[in-house]
Amino acid sequence: MNAMEPSLARPLAAPYTDGLREGLLRYQQCSACGGAQTLARYACQHCGQRTAMPWRDAAGTATVCAVTEVARAPSDEFRALAPYTLVIVQLDEGPRLMAHAAAGVQIGQRVRASFFEHHGRTLVRFEPLT
């Protein structure tokens, strides 16, 4: 096997998931246009260039764009958390991200990322800025 075969290759999203375990939110920023994105991609979602997409650390602050309350969890894994709040936030650096949130957050509210462990994974939860 060579280093590029899937079983040995480092997952594209590894810098993001590694950051979560370190208490950091990370995003990719296009070297060509400067566009930022949270989902790991080989090409920029803004300009389509397949240039370098280096990972950057986000400040962790954001504005809530959408809120929903989940009453029925989609799987047994999340049933213990129900009911829970999910949000789409726009990070101060530009990209949007879906994550958990404290109950009662509202659209337009300023929030800060925190992290929690659930079933062996680190998940993001946004809390209101005080």
Q: What is the CATH number of the domain that holds 115?
A: 2.40.50
Answer whether residue 105 is part of any domain: yes
Within a domain: 1? no
Which domain covers residue 25, as residue numbers? 14-128
The answer as to whether 4 is a domain residue is no
Would residue 54 count as lying in a domain?
A: yes
pLDDT of residue 8: 59
Could you give the number of structural domains in the chain? Answer: 1
pTM score: 0.86
Residue at 6 is within a domain: no
From first to last of the 130 residues of the chain, give the pLDDT tens digit. 444 444 457 789 999 999 999 999 999 999 999 999 998 999 999 999 998 899 999 999 999 999 999 999 999 999 999 999 999 999 999 999 999 999 999 999 999 999 999 999 999 999 999 7
Cα torsion 45, 98, 60, 21: sign: negative
Max CA separation in the chain (angstroms): 52
From residue 96, alpha-carbon distances to 35, 63, 92, 100 in Å are 12, 9, 9, 13
Q: Under the phi-then-psi rule, with left for phi > 0, alpha for psi from -120 to 50, and beta for the rest, what region is 92? A: alpha
Does 7 fall in a domain? Answer: no
Dihedral sign for Cα atoms in the order 93, 98, 103, 105: positive
Q: Is residue 2 part of a domain?
A: no
